[in-house]
Amino acid sequence: MPDTSPLAACLGEGLVSFVPATAAPLEDARTFHRSLAGAEWNTAIALASAGIRAAVVSRVGDDGFGRFLTSELRRHDVDDSAVEIDADAPTGLYVKELSPRPDGSIDGTMHYYRAGSAASRMSPATLAAPPASALLAEAALVHTTGITPALSPSARATQDAVFDRPRDGRLLSFDLNWRPALWRGREDEGRHVIADLARRADILFCTRPDAEAVFGTSEPEQLRALFPEPRYLLATSPDGAVAFDGAERTESRSLDVPVVESIGAGDAFAAGFLAGVLTGLSLTGSLARAHRIATRVLVSTRDHVD
């Protein structure tokens, strides 16, 4: 990756994903394929594929799964120097359950095994460590999601610290990524936390179903009225996206490709849009780039581009 490319730093948990070789109930699945997962890590890989220097700030366990994840980052030309190794906590993982749909596509249901993971032990000290501090000082953009503050109080404090840092021209990107299971029993708190982060971001991504669940509306114009603070706001659905740059508004339809499974496509979409913004594309051009990169995830059961 050229050193002249802008640097994007992605903060969040990396996970090992186990995907069955066939679409069937888990009790009938015998063979699984291992893959990297985690929203922010997926976005970092897609950014690198788009020619943007990308780095991840996170923690993994001192185990084979953690070593697999960091090696996968390096294989995709993503900087892993700010991924800390935790000797006492494991790397998180999930198992994806695949179910065939009548139209030939596949529904994916995720079963998480991440409680007490190394990434849940991220703290503001993670950001203060020399590798992360140097990356954040250089980054033209920092990307985070609504998953991180749900992991633990220390992970939430880490994300708050990112939002509290002086911007100095740096863009802060936030993808809503509502995960009800992570906020179970404290849903109202989660909605408040996510709304606050959304208002403080420069770039806000949300799917329309997530926006309805968290903000009570999925209408793009109403979302823009609720969140005038971010310069860019994008509301997405399987059919397409509506994007705002200040008062400018544009919309586009998704590209017509055979959809195998959609998990991870939103992370690739975000990466494509961010790559467009970082390289000076127009709102329409950035949106087109987002759709192109998202299609590379839609045609497989992996969560990231390869």
Q: Which residues are catalytic, by number?
A: 267
Query: CA geometry: angle at 68 spanning 67 and 72, to 5°?
Result: 115
**Contact predicate 197/163, CB 8 Å:** yes
174 three-state secondary structure: strand
278 three-state secondary structure: helix
Q: What is the pairing mode between strands 32-37 and 15-20?
A: antiparallel
CA–CA distance, 248 with 155 (Å, rounded to integer): 35
Question: End-to-end CA distance of the chain, in Å?
Answer: 16
Q: What are phi and psi of 51, to 5 degrees?
A: 90, 10
Query: CA geometry: angle at 14 spanning 274 and 142, to 5°?
Result: 30
CA–CA distance, 69 with 45 (Å, rounded to integer): 12
Q: Computed from CA positions of residues 104, 95, 185, 235, in that sequence, does the dihedral angle turn out positive or negative?
A: negative
CA–CA distance, 194 with 163 (Å, rounded to integer): 12
Instruction: Extract long-range pairs of 27-34: CB within 8 Å, 24+ residues apart.
Output: 29/97, 32/95, 34/68
Buried (b) or exposed (e) across 35-65, using 16+ Cβ within 10 A?
A: bbbbbbbbbbbbbbbbebbbbbbbbbbebeb
